[in-house]
Structure 1
């Protein structure tokens, strides 16, 4: 997959260079802000640590814009405004200095520009509501040398595509999250079987489907907490957890009566930075 990162990266599939821009500085906090849940108890020093979650992450991109003529300068500003228009919703941001990863961002703030004739510099404030980086390629993409992947992303050429044929019970499978933060997959079962139970032995999370799988697809979206069978809501028929994928190998046990189905894990490797 060829991705145009000229000018330092792209937003929504449009390279910065195609907008006349050169990316000169990137400010991404090492970690997102935290949301701490704690409780005070009478007569007890300090507080009780209940939970820590991450909030959204701000990202700032500083650009240089140079044009020969005033009219061209303003044409470029119009194109830039359209490219970062927040009414488009969240867009994919990719950076040349951090290849192989992407962020989901939206313009958030104000955008003044410092000008000297037809030379301008400005900083675009963005917000990543999902505050983690994800792999550009989904996990079901076969790894190949020369794709711009970088050391430190956790990949190995021996990594396999996470789609498995289930013909016997129990069946043990392994799904790898190469990132260093939990990933939330879409799990799709296609085929036939009954009494299906899927357990992530690594985390202890599991779910079971209390109806026969008689053709079609059972789709468990662990990020949105939804369950559909042939596009019908079957949330009430799925018991248990929505299994996440922790860093590294996740060992799953799949059990069923008369199984003849495939199970596919659709996700992107997820990174704290």
Structure 2
């Protein structure tokens, strides 16, 4: 029987000493966090939209050991694996066998009882992804003809992700995810003024630069080395739409390379 979980952290369930089975609670979407306001004498409520809350998973598992002593050894080792050096639940990737190209970032959340019958120990593993979305295990610029990728994964092999920029430029880009993506841009070289428009939103860096600037659109940060240079931007960050779009680069005194990193995002 194929394991429901391919990887938990950097190990397979088999390496951790247990199996994962079909009775697994894996919701289609996490619960909504609704923003509404009730108004006196008005039927219903004003709807201000909603977001998704954390996504819970309950994984059916079982240790299978030769005897109760080996069972306890595996239980103790797994308990340690779930925690960091300070004894707090640690966050790690969860990859399902049915979708080996994407991962959730999860941690143990809840309680973890186990039934012990000689060398057999079934249990339900409660996990939670506080970011409820899945992300590609590959960054755009990591994929080439030698990459081991699932045959049904939507991706282009050897798609250019680094560009030489010496003036205004329009860069075609394809986001293979099902949701808008937040790229990481690395600009190495020099410019007097730089403008990058993604998803219709213009990000401006208004100070001359000679070095390497990293713009993280998910974290909305701008750094040169370890220095926070967000003050030199207009603090506006767009998102790459699903499918094909154009990244527009403009500015003055530009002589640099632009690298585009993206982990595709999925519902």
TM-score in terms of structure 1 length: 0.88
**Which position in structure 2 is the counterpart of 1:13?**
10
**Which position in structure 1 is the counterpart of 2:73?**
75
Question: Residues 7, 46 of structure 1: CA spacing in aligned structure 2 closer, same or farther, 3 A cutoff?
Answer: closer
**Which position in structure 2 is the counterpart of 1:225?**
220
CA distance in 2, matches of 1:268, 1:116: 43
Pick aligned residue for 1:212 from 208, 211, 214: 208
**Which position in structure 1 is the counterpart of 2:249?**
254
Question: Residues 139, 266 of structure 1: CA spacing in aligned structure 2 closer, same or farther, 3 A cutoff?
Answer: same
Instruction: Give, in angstroms, the shift of residue 211 of structure 1.
Output: 0.5
User: Which segments of 5 or more consecutive residues in structure 1 lack a partner in the other structure?
Assistant: none
CA distance in 1, matches of 2:209, 2:26: 45
Q: Note the aligned Cα RMSD (angstroms).
A: 2.2
Question: Residues 161, 52 of structure 1: CA spacing in aligned structure 2 closer, same or farther, 3 A cutoff?
Answer: farther
Instruction: Give, in angstroms, the shift of residue 162 of structure 1.
Output: 2.3
1:24 aligns with 2:21: yes
**Contact 1:99 1:150 (C-alpha < 8 Å) held by counterparts:** no
Question: Residues 148, 264 of structure 1: CA spacing in aligned structure 2 closer, same or farther, 3 A cutoff?
Answer: closer
CA distance in 2, matches of 1:263, 1:148: 25
**Contact 2:104 2:129 (C-alpha < 8 Å) held by counterparts:** yes
1:61 aligns with 2:29: no
Question: Residues 42, 143 of structure 1: CA spacing in aligned structure 2 closer, same or farther, 3 A cutoff?
Answer: farther
**Which position in structure 2 is the counterpart of 1:183?**
181
**Which position in structure 2 is the counterpart of 1:267?**
262
CA distance in 1, matches of 2:171, 2:9: 35
Of stretches 37-46 and 25-34 in structure 1, the one that deviates more from structure 2 is 37-46
CA distance in 2, matches of 1:148, 1:263: 25
Instruction: Give, in angstroms, the shift of residue 76 of structure 1.
Output: 0.8
Instruction: Give, in angstroms, the shift of residue 250 of structure 1.
Output: 2.7
**Which position in structure 2 is the counterpart of 1:163?**
162
User: Which segments of 5 or more consecutive residues in structure 2 lack a partner in the other structure?
Assistant: none
How many pairs were matched up?
262
**Contact 2:193 2:253 (C-alpha < 8 Å) held by counterparts:** no
* Structure with the higher fraction of residues in strand conformation: 1
CA distance in 2, matches of 1:35, 1:56: 10
Per-residue deviation, residues 80-109 of structure 1 (Å, max 9, x unmatched): 112222625211112223211111000000
Instruction: Give, in angstroms, the shift of residue 46 of structure 1.
Output: 2.5
**Contact 1:100 1:150 (C-alpha < 8 Å) held by counterparts:** no
TM-score in terms of structure 2 length: 0.90
CA distance in 2, matches of 1:172, 1:219: 20
CA distance in 2, matches of 1:144, 1:61: 34
